[in-house]
Amino acid sequence: MKALLKGLIWLIFILIIIGFCGSIYILNAPPVPKEGEAKLQIHKRTALRGRPSVNSKPILYTKDVFIFSMDSQYLSNLNSGILSSELLFSIALGQRTNFSAELLDKELQTSFDWKKTFLNSAPDMKFSSGKPTIKVLLSGRDWILSDSTGASYHIEKVDNHLSVYLPDLREEFNNNKITLSDNLEFSIEDVGKQWLINDRDTVQVYEIRNNKNKLDVFQQSKYPIQSFLFSVDLASLESLNKGNLTSEIRQGFTDLKAPLSPNVKLSSDEIGLKWKITDGQQLYRIHNEENSLRVYLDLDSTWLLVRVNDTLKGWMQRITGTIHVPPKPMLSSRQELKVKLLTLFAQIKDMVSNSNETDTQTL
């Protein structure tokens, strides 16, 4: 019997040592990355306001950030929606195949009806009706064709035909240290004047504006959304469970210059843990967490609180831009165990704290 008891004690001791070492190993896992902030990318000039109301005086107006300018030759890419160099069509040279280099250069400049050629071979391309120009890159072999707007195409002689290519707008972005992903959304905002390139992978929108003889590229402003608004202590918990908002919670909204209206509604999403505040088109969430009641802004609200910099924040309408929510960080199995272990420690600490408070009240 004593031997069995002794063996059991040793087993418990070994399990404690294994558990301790395992806990140390888990707690020394790489830091758990924080979730990224949601951001509002502004698509047009809009006002930052002190209060969530169009009647509030603007604090400032947003503006896009200029990045670089590029040649108007890339109008051909923007007009077609094709951003990479791509073969548009080929045409047979016929009897011109045997022309000398100088004579072929002259033929392309004077005898070709380029508007008709594009209409027949690439009807979706908009080739200007004005007088085109031909720039010789390599006599008899390579040329740049430009229409009257500046939109350009690369022409190459291959055996007995001419191949017409679009320029490479992607490469021009690369030359300016911007790499566009393959997951792009392209849109024409104003025909011949304004275009948007939405890079979904990098969560960035570029605006291109036609500025006479050049194309200006802008990066749209993107501001972090302040989703966490404020917190109050658990003294307001009883009132929330009864469906009422306390003066402390209302004061928190007043301090943000977003006072709640008399018609505000409170509903419970999870009894004792989560609530929803509906104030017209504004939505807020209250979570019972971290020993306090934390109030968050719902991203479906009409007005969003954004930070322009470390000292300036204000309200903007959601419809003025696009909300980008970063994906949740991927955790290793060790990091996931670390999160669970730290949560367990926090729960044990709360239980001990609550037990001590109960004992104190009993005494």
Range of the structural domain that residue 184 is part of = 65-69+170-220
Determine the Cα–Cα distance for residues 273 and 29; give it in Å rounded to an integer.
Answer: 30
Residue 114 DSSP SS3: helix
Q: 272 or 13, which is more confident?
A: 272
73 closest CA partner among 138, 141, 162, 133: 133
Tell me the C-alpha distance between 295 and 284, whole Å.
Answer: 7
What is the DSSP code string of 248-309? Answer: HHHHHHHHTT-PPPTT-EEEEEETTTEEEEEETTEEEEEEEETTEEEEEE-TTSSEEEEESS
Q: For the chain, first and last CA: distance in Å?
A: 44
CA-only gyration radius of the chain, Å: 33
Query: Where a domain ends, among 139, 165, 191?
Result: 165
| Choice among 2-6, 121-125, 264-268, 291-295 with the minimum mean pLDDT | 2-6
Residues 256 and 285 occupy one common structural domain:
yes
- Does 359 score more than 60 pLDDT? no
In a domain, 115, yes or no: yes
Residue given tokens 């229409």 in the structure block: 147
Specify if 347 maps to a domain: no
Q: How far apart are the C-alpha atoms of 179 and 174, rounded to whole Å? A: 5
Q: Residue 292: which pLDDT band, with cuts at 50, 70 and 90?
A: very high
Range with the poorest average pLDDT among 15-24, 233-242, 262-271, 276-285: 15-24
Q: pTM of the full predicted structure?
A: 0.61
pLDDT at 26: 65
User: Measured between alpha carbons, how far is residue 56 from residues 46, 225, 250, 311, 316 in Å?
Assistant: 13, 19, 20, 19, 11
Residue-wise pLDDT tens digits, 62-86? 888 899 999 999 999 999 999 999 9
Strand 65-71 versus strand 214-219 pairing type: antiparallel
Q: Is residue 273 part of a domain?
A: yes
Residue 185 lies in a domain: yes
Task: List alpha helices for the chain, DSSP H.
Answer: 2-27, 75-80, 101-110, 114-121, 169-175, 237-241, 247-255, 333-362
pLDDT of residue 6: 67
Beta bridge partners of 230: 295
Q: Which residues pair with 61 in a beta bridge?
A: 47
**Domain's final residue, options 205, 220, 235:** 220
Residues 109/115/119/125 CA torsion (nearest 10 deg): 90
- Give the residue, 272 or 33, on which the prediction is more confident: 272
Residue with more model confidence, 284 or 339 = 284
* Residue 193 forms part of a structural domain: yes
Of 118, 148, 165, the residue at which a domain comes to its end is: 165
Does residue 18 fall inside a structural domain? no
The number of domains in the chain is 3
Tell me: do 136 and 156 sit in the same domain: yes
Contacts of 24 (CB under 8 A, 6+ apart): none
360 lies in some domain: no
Same structural domain, 110 and 199: no
pLDDT, tens digit, 9 for 90 and up, residues 112-131:
899 999 999 999 888 888 88
Burial of 175 per CB tally in 10 Å (0-12, 13-18, 19+):
exposed
Percent residues over pLDDT 90 in the chain: 62
- How distant, in Å, are the alpha carbons of 118, 163, 231, 275, 283 from that of 267? 63, 66, 18, 6, 11
Burial 330-342 (b: 16+ CB within 10 A, else e): eeeeebebbeeee
- Say whether both 228 and 314 belong to one domain: yes
